[in-house]
Structure 1
Amino acid sequence: MKIQKIGVKMQRRRRSIPTKKIQLNISVWERWWQNFSLTRLIRNIIIAIFSAQVLTAGILLTISAIRDRKKHLHKFPTIELKEVQVGANRLQLYSNGKDLYNAMLEAIDQAEKSIYIESYIWKDDQAGWDFKTHLARKAAEGVEVYVIFDMIGNLVVPRQFKKSFDPAIHLIEYQALGSYQHVIDPRHYALDHRKLLIVDGKTGFIGGYNIGSLYADSWRDTHLRIQGPATTELAHSFVDFWNRFGPRHHPIQHRYQRRFDPLINLHGNDALRLTFPIRDMYIEAINRAEHSIYLSNAYFVPDGSLLDSLKAAAQRGVDVRILVPWKSNHVVADWISHSYFSECLDAGIHILGYRHTMLHAKTCTIDGQWSTVGTANLDRLSSIGNYEINLEIYSSDFAQQMERLFACDTEDVIELRAEDWHHRPWYTKLSEHILAPLRFMM
């Protein structure tokens, strides 16, 4: 009897073991499900992606810093271009910083009534001090001198340098976020990325050059001098900016006569009013192209509409050539721009890498008729973010100058081939995919 009872108990125990296991598994699943949080999962995914981006960017920045220490400054090809007449205006292109700065300082020295100068970056170096000295001299002579520079763009510039402008010079250090209330309004995140000089409302300069010895000696950029009535539009743009963001007790009162010029149009992005005509200007001109599009830009991070326009132009037989720095001063921006190259190459667009130095130009010329020179990069910060200014010029003579400059810049470049680009290393592609989401912030 005892043996039978023991056998029955063992059988019951064997039967109960699976049931207990099932109950245990269900209990574990229920506890996991009770502790599950979709919010926590999404948060962890975001943290993982962000960490991967930070790690990738950190590695690239480290490599870039090591590369820059070993980098030697190289001379880059230049070309002398003559002044051209466009309507009632005379236009002169500059592709060399020293020549440009000499022309700007000469114009400052000849000022009789007013000098308006605006720069995103103003370095504490020889070039920076040269401009300050010349401006102070003219202010002492009674010329009204107005200066604007961006606070964020000059964060690394010593505070003492920014405070040492002559007291006779009217000065704005533009701040993107002027108050705590602006934090919740994205329109107030815009930086002042413009570069302008207007003397007496008669001579104006506009383009990509900031003020600094590095740019004069080592960077390849493009600037434009205008002499004639179109300069007043640049003056109006400066005055409007000053009177909006400058001291209320000291607005600029002088007003220049406005003119309609069918050959030279000014386009300025206005973040506060959410108007961004420069991007639309590019798209409209690209959509009209029949023969050629020669585009130079420091940071190629276009939005979908602009990229589609460029691809469509190439697919209908237009010779589309995009010149970018092969190694720019922002290595992360380089890698983000690389994520667009496959689409471009597959569409028949020529991607050309400028190998000599940092290419900082923001120019384009189309069909030997239409051109633009200005401050706007082809990225989202310039397209729908910062304050920017570009000139749109209808002139075959000026377009010919632009084409000659583009030909000089592309004499010795790295031209990408679709087959080679598609077979780049897997880790390079992975890095580009990790950084790709950052394109919406650049």
Structure 2
Amino acid sequence: MPADDDDGLLAIACDRGPYPLRSGNRVVPWIDGVPFYDRLAAAIAAARARVWAIVSFIEPGFCFPDGTAWWDLLDRSRARGLDVRVLFWRNPRFSSTRHVFLGGPAEREFLARRGSTWAARWDSSAAAAHCHHQKAFVVDAGEPDAIAFVGGMVLSTATLARPGHHRGLHKHDAFLELHGPVVADAEHNFVQRWNLARQDPAAPPWPDELRAGPLAWPARLPPARGDVRVQLARSLAPDCYRGPTPIVGAREFDSAGGEATVLAHYLAAFAAARRTIYIENQHPGQHALLVALDAALRRGVRVVMVVPADPMPAIWRAAGEVAELARHGRAHEHRYGPTFERLAALAAHPGFTLAALARSDGDGHRDIYTHAKLCIVDGAWATLGSANLVDLSLDRDHTELNAAWWGREHCLPLLLQLVAEHTDIHAGDDLEALDRFAAHARASRDSLLGGGPVLGGCYALDPATYAVRPPLTR
């Protein structure tokens, strides 16, 4: 697709949420944890006024690649006189809280022992299964050179992998760095959630209400820093954040009805695709998106979806339940029955490839866990953020934040970088990249089935048995 056809994808932009399409931005994708956390630590160390963070999950002892503890970086930033604020998620009833900083007595005693004086609020979930899942950072909010970071990486040692995953840790992930006018929207998202957070009396603001007081709404856009068009998109449950809030250069927006603009972006992007759809996600698909992928494949679009070969326990459990019901013709009775049936049906399309990441070395085969949440369409539109391709992340339930950006010159290099990392193949355009990825993944699967190694860094999966049979690398 010629570069001057990129504007045809502008129809993907969504006008149903608070944030408009912003021009004049610079975007920097960061692939895998070591490069990203090195960059984030450097940005925070260079901050002159403010450091704001939105944290969902955090390993208590998390350290940056240079060994600096997360908590030490916050304390040092505060000691330099910066306004440091962290919005944590709180849900003591969630299925696992091992890596949730709940803000209760134990956490407050921990902060008191450290003498931490930066501000914190806890945004509490009303439902036991709900998660405030956003991961974002804003450095020097309100300043002309403010920076925002939006993505899906967790503050966890397991994230500290290097691109290629030849040695060391094996979690594949991504984050996006933003400069320019769109940073005001990242600031708005933080301020809205900070000011309107659902507070639990068991976790009051830290260190007190005065220090962790409300913030002013962003009042101006940062100046242009590049030529990239960017739009932020979210998932919000109804009634999480009620009341109209001001948006710089746009109409006021009331989030009381919830928001599903991440899903709107995906649906519009799949409908607009003419050549290729490349997906990396922790989940194998939400039902409406799988329907849209089927329609794209029928138009001749090539689709590659990269997922974990060994998915999270909830996916194993759901797939097993669906498979058991399917034996009796009752798969439709399960919440995710239609989803797994749609995924399996995609195997009928020769243009569809489901793949997992892995490496073979002296220690045998190692699966690489795909935690990234990104998509690139036609090499000319991309989205990256916290939203998984599952109903909870997309259908106005969990709280999510993605950034979408436009332009072949800004999206195609990321696609080619990812394909090269996973296959050791250097392609020239999006069609060549996905065709060669698909052929490589199938050859790698055949190698594994024949007792050989993983070829490059990926292998093809069977969509019909995903999460029902063990990975080929076991």
Answer whether TM exceeds 0.5 for this pair.
yes
Q: Size of the alignment, in residue pairs?
A: 330
After superposition, residues 337-356 of structure 1 pair within 5 angstroms as 340-348=342-350, 349-355=352-358, 356=367
Structure 2 unmatched runs, 5+:
1-21, 162-168, 200-204, 239-256, 320-338, 359-366, 424-456
Secondary structure at the aligned position of 1:197 is classed as: strand
Is the alpha carbon distance of 1:287 and 1:138 closer, same or farther for their aligned partners in structure 2, counting shifts above 3 Å? same
Is the alpha carbon distance of 1:335 and 1:358 closer, same or farther for their aligned partners in structure 2, counting shifts above 3 Å? farther
2:69 alignment partner AA: D
After superposition, residues 141-152 of structure 1 pair within 5 angstroms as 141-152=80-91
Larger mean Cα displacement after TM superposition, 386-395 or 352-361? 352-361
Deviation at 1:405, TM superposition (A): 3.1
Q: How far apart are the structure 1 equivalents of 2:46 and 2:82?
A: 10
Higher helix share: 1
Deviation at 1:253, TM superposition (A): 2.1
Secondary structure at the aligned position of 1:415 is classed as: strand
Is the alpha carbon distance of 1:359 and 1:262 closer, same or farther for their aligned partners in structure 2, counting shifts above 3 Å? closer
Deviation at 1:149, TM superposition (A): 2.0
Q: Is the 8 A contact 1:376 1:388 kept in 2?
A: yes
Q: How far apart are the structure 2 equivalents of 1:387 and 1:310?
A: 24
Deviation at 1:290, TM superposition (A): 0.4
Secondary structure at the aligned position of 1:358 is classed as: strand
Higher strand share: 2
Q: Percent identity?
A: 21
Is the alpha carbon distance of 1:149 and 1:339 closer, same or farther for their aligned partners in structure 2, counting shifts above 3 Å? farther
Counterpart check, 1:200 vs 2:131? no
Is the alpha carbon distance of 1:224 and 1:428 closer, same or farther for their aligned partners in structure 2, counting shifts above 3 Å? closer
Deviation at 1:397, TM superposition (A): 1.7
Deviation at 1:342, TM superposition (A): 1.6
Aligned residue among 216, 220, 223 for 1:257: 220
Counterpart check, 1:370 vs 2:336? no
Q: How far apart are the structure 2 equivalents of 1:383 and 1:360?
A: 16
Aligned residue among 271, 276, 295 for 2:279: 295
State TM-score, norm by structure 1.
0.68
Deviation at 1:254, TM superposition (A): 5.3
Counterpart check, 1:415 vs 2:427? no
Is the alpha carbon distance of 1:333 and 1:283 closer, same or farther for their aligned partners in structure 2, counting shifts above 3 Å? farther
State TM-score, norm by structure 2.
0.64
Question: C-alpha root-mean-square deviation of aligned residues, in Å?
Answer: 3.0
Q: How far apart are the structure 1 equivalents of 2:269 and 2:315?
A: 29
> What is the match of residue 234 of structure 2?
268
Cα deviation 1:335-389 (Å, max 9, x = unaligned): 6376543211124422112233111000001112111011100001101210001
Larger mean Cα displacement after TM superposition, 262-271 or 366-375? 262-271
> What is the match of residue 164 of structure 1?
110
Q: Is the 8 A contact 1:122 1:149 kept in 2?
A: no
1:400 alignment partner AA: L
> What is the match of residue 33 of structure 1?
none
Aligned residue among 146, 155, 162 for 2:97: 155
Q: Which structure has the bigger radius of gyration?
A: 1
Q: Is the 8 A contact 1:329 1:358 kept in 2?
A: no
Deviation at 1:302, TM superposition (A): 0.8
Q: How far apart are the structure 1 equivalents of 2:378 and 2:75?
A: 44
Q: Is the 8 A contact 1:194 1:387 kept in 2?
A: yes
Secondary structure at the aligned position of 2:196 is classed as: helix
> What is the match of residue 232 of structure 1?
184
Q: How far apart are the structure 2 equivalents of 1:383 and 1:359?
A: 19
Q: Is the 8 A contact 1:105 1:131 kept in 2?
A: no
Aligned residue among 208, 214, 217 for 2:158: 214
Structure 1 unmatched runs, 5+:
1-85, 178-182, 432-442
